[in-house]
Amino acid sequence: MNGEGQELQGTVFAGCTILGKIGQGGMGTVYKARHDALDKLVCVKLLSQELAKEPRNIEFFLREARSAAKLEHPNIVHVYNFGQENGVYFIIMSYVEGKSLQDLLNEKGPLPVKEASDIVVGVLEGLAHAHSKSVIHRDIKPANILIGLDGIPRIVDFGLARSISEEKQLTMAGEMVGTAYFMSPEQGLAGQVDHRADLYAVGATYFYILTGRYPFDGKTSVEVIHKHISDPVPNIMLVRPDVPLWASRVIDNLMRKKPEERYQTAAEVMEYLNKHKSGELGLEDVSSERTFDLPEVTARLQPPQAAAPAASLERAAPVVSDRSISARQQPAAPQIKTVSGQAAAPAPAAKPALQLGALHNGLKGAMHFALTLGATGLFILAGASGRAPGSLASPLTSNPGAFFLLSGIGAALFVWAIWQKPRKFTGGHAAFVLAAAAAAYAGGAYIPAPEGADAVEKASLAVQIGLGNMFSAANSIVYALFLYLAASKMVYKNNWALKGLAVLAYLGGLALTYSYFRAGAELTPEKAWLAAGGALALLGMLAALTQKEPAVLISPQTLFLGANIAMFAMFTNPQIETITADKVRAEGLKAAQQNQENSYKYRRLLMEMQAEALYDEQGNPIERRPPPAPEEVKPQETSKLRNLARLEYYRALGLRIRGALAESAGIIFIAFFLALMANACFLEEVLAAYRESDIIGGG
């Protein structure tokens, strides 16, 4: 504590007993004190004597007091009093036990996504109140946000705040006010500033507390301000890959260069953040996601594809490479004839074109892999060539030239890949190729890339995010489908190891289906469906281990598909019944209310008829018969309401899955998996053709 603090400690100033110095600010000194009349701890901020010599500094200091005094909100430090005493200008405000957000970041480093988002929501709530009172802060930054022991953020230092209705401008023409690292472009240009400048600063603050880095840095303030004005907003996911896409999107929308392109109100930002925090959009927390570079993932995926054919073809290579040795070592060789009746050894030229050796087939497999991978990438680029994110039609309408060029080359590569196959066009391979193209195009179109990014940047981001989220729990239902398809291709192989892998894949997919729907279930699942799913899975295992050919009904695919449906029904049926019960209750109340209203109207009509007597021309009273009572309104049948509830639930579930795939770029992962499945079909077909040609050729 300096000498000034020691001199004031224990003294009474403006009705407050000074307890000690808290810190030194840009405009003056802040003391902790006890307000004698209110009997509570407060902060006393004093304008320094040196700054008080300039009237302009006094205007700035008192502007903070006037601006903050208009505001009363839990997320804004409250001003109790301000003025001048004994020639010293002061502000008395509420005391917050805690530390500034900047100090908190200095101690802990970048904050977790949830904690950072909670703080940003609190700041936005305070700003929404300030903006409703026509007050703009204009200097939002971590140092001006206090975090109390209760975890509630509070905005302080309205020294640069300005009332929108203020007639006198306290800033000179061309003067910039604010802190460079968090300053909006319009502040840097000393232009017209409104509440949207605060939203830009919130976006920069959000970026900073998530990464520990400023969005724009430089050697001088002028360099930083210039970057705010002209440079695109850095992609936060390249700095911190575990930040979810929705947070990256919020920052990007908050920090748009033009105010009219940002979020327009703090309430709009809060609504979006709260939906994600509460899970209303069906999006999972992806704070545990891992990101892999494309070469690393390709290296992990490629060896199993290359090793299997190489090993199989290598074993057959000696038969092809040296027919003379084969003929000398096998006395029975003359019994293996070609169609013309000649021995196989003397006529190697009669072999089919595919009988070219293991190396040649390996090269063809590598070429097929490269063609399908390249075609998938081109379809991602075609989807990313549009200007409107999230629109499948945008590439065709906004950039038709790039769309037709990229998709045309991609289709040509897929056709070339099909031409490499021994049997040319086959249904399974073609289905995987077409599905890979569609998934790649959709993944490129739905990627939430920063504004102004070109097709290459968006496609690169799509691939990176898709591969980075390939192990996300939000995509577990997709992985269940993949395991089911992979198992269905292996289950009929005449190899016990492959059959065992197929059974494990089926069970793994079933477990992922269970975990996916179990994670979102709030009710106890139905045990009958659990028993049915278990029984079907057991029968599926027996069928997988015993069957050698596909069966019409009792097959592993059918039984495990039924088991997955049972897992789905086990958790969804209770949800549907809950929605149905709510609808039945609502319909009952609606019918009861309608019946009550009809009964009231009917009784009132009878009373009016009794009160109003009618007479004929002779003066005799006319007898009036009351109308029939209204029929009782009955609620809709429970079966109809259950169907409506089921449609409502399935629609919400579809939106949840589609939203998860779009946000995590899971569609990109689907595209590459389908391309790999097409390569598996190709290798399987090459090996089968190789074995057939070897038998026919006498190897």
Q: Give tens-digit pLDDT for 378-419.
A: 888 888 888 776 678 888 888 888 889 998 998 999 888 888
Q: What is the pLDDT of residues 546-572, one digit of tens each?
A: 887 777 678 888 888 888 888 888 878
pLDDT at 468: 63
What residue type is 214 in one-letter code? Y
Q: What is the secondary structure of 476-488 as a DSSP string?
A: HHHHHHHHHHHHH
State how far the Cα of 350 lies from the Cα of 307, in Å rounded to an integer: 29
| pLDDT value for 687 | 75
- Residue 278 is predicted with a pLDDT of 59
Residue 13 — φ and ψ, nearest 5°?
Answer: -135, 125
* Structural element, H or E, at residue 29: strand 28-35
Q: Which of 449, 467, 470 is nearest to 459 (CA)?
A: 449
Token duo for residue 534: 């278990």
Of 394-403, 487-496, 589-598, the range with the lowest mean pLDDT is 487-496
Question: Any idea what DSSP says for residue 47?
Answer: E
Among the listed residues 86, 83, 34, 35, the one whose alpha carbon sits nearest the alpha carbon of residue 61 = 83
| β-strand pairing of 12-13 with 16-24 | antiparallel
SS3 of 411-448:
HHHHHHHHHCCCCCCCHHHHHHHHHHHHHHHHHHHHCC
Angle made by CA atoms 282, 283, 284, in degrees to the nearest 5: 120
pLDDT band (50, 70, 90) for residue 488? confident
Domains for the chain: give ranges and CATH numbers: 3-95 (3.30.200.20), 99-278 (1.10.510.10), 290-472+664-699 (no CATH)
pLDDT in tens, 307-317: 333 333 333 33
In 412-443, which positions are buried (b, 16+ CB within 10 angstroms) versus exposed (e)? ebbeebbeebbeeeeeebeebbebbbbbbbbb
pLDDT at position 348: 42
Better-scored residue on pLDDT, 304 or 225: 225
Coil, helix or strand at residue 150: coil
Per-residue pLDDT tens digits for 57-94? 888 788 777 877 888 888 998 888 888 888 888 989 88
CA-to-CA distance for 144 and 165, rounded, in angstroms? 24
| pLDDT band with cut points at 50, 70 and 90 for residue 286 | very low
Listed as own residue / partner, the contacts of 414-421 with beta carbons closer than 8 Å and 24 or more positions apart are 414/371, 414/372, 414/375, 416/371, 417/368, 417/371, 417/372, 417/375, 417/678, 417/682, 420/364, 420/367, 420/368, 420/371, 420/682, 421/368, 421/682, 421/685, 421/686
190 — alpha (psi -120 to 50), left (phi > 0) or beta?
A: left
**pLDDT (mean) for 421-432:** 80
Residue 33: the pLDDT is 92
Structure tokens at 229: 């004005």
pLDDT band at 153 (very low <50, low <70, confident <90, very high): very high
More confident residue, 6 or 339: 6
What tokens does 539 get? Answer: 């029968």
- Say which DSSP state 111 is in: P
If you search the block for the tokens 């209770």, which residue do you land on?
574
**What's the confidence (pLDDT) of residue 693?**
54
Burial-class residue 265 by CB neighbours within 10 Å (0-12, 13-18, 19+): middle
Percentage of the chain surpassing pLDDT 70? 76
Rounded to the nearest 10 degrees, the angle between the axes of helix 638-663 and helix 666-697 is 80
- How far is Cα 11 from Cα 31, in angstroms, rounded to an integer? 11
In the chain, pLDDT over 90 holds for what percent of residues? 12
- DSSP-based three-state secondary structure for 597: helix
Instruction: Provide the pLDDT for residue 215.
Output: 92
Predicted confidence at residue 448, as pLDDT, reads: 66
Which residue is associated with the tokens 């901020």?
Answer: 45
14-48 pLDDT, tens digit per residue, is 889 998 888 876 677 889 999 988 888 999 988 88
Residue-level pLDDT at 525? 64
Considering only residues 208 and 447, tell me which one the structure prediction assigns the higher pLDDT.
208
Bigger pLDDT: 659 vs 306: 659
Average pLDDT score, the chain: 76
Q: What DSSP string runs through 177-220?
A: -S-GGG--HHHHTT----THHHHHHHHHHHHHHHHSS-SS--SS
Element (H, E) at 20: strand 16-24
Closest CA to 403 of 393, 415, 388: 393
Position 311 scores a pLDDT of 37
Checking if the pLDDT of 320 tops 50, the result is no
Q: How far apart are CA 57 and CA 656, in angstroms?
A: 55
Say if residue 320 is exposed, middle or buried (CB neighbours under 10 Å; 0-12, 13-18, 19+): buried
Instruction: Identify the pLDDT of residue 265.
Output: 92
**What pLDDT was estimated at residue 660?**
63
- The band of 187, judged by pLDDT with boundaries at 50, 70 and 90, is confident
Average pLDDT over residues 641-646: 88
Average pLDDT over residues 168-195: 67
pLDDT of 354 reads 39
Task: Please state, in angstroms and rounded to a whole number, the distance separating the CA atoms of residues 5 and 30.
Answer: 10
Q: Shortest CA distance to 499 belongs to which of 540, 535, 551, 534?
A: 540
**What residues contact 129, with CB distance under 8 A and at least 6 apart?**
71, 73, 75, 76
Lowest mean pLDDT among 237-246, 359-368, 426-435, 570-579: 359-368
pLDDT for the residue numbered 123: 93
Query: In the predicted model, is pLDDT for residue 121 greater than 50?
Result: yes
Strand partners, 13: 16
Q: Which of 412-426, 502-516, 581-595, 656-670 has the lowest mean pLDDT?
A: 656-670
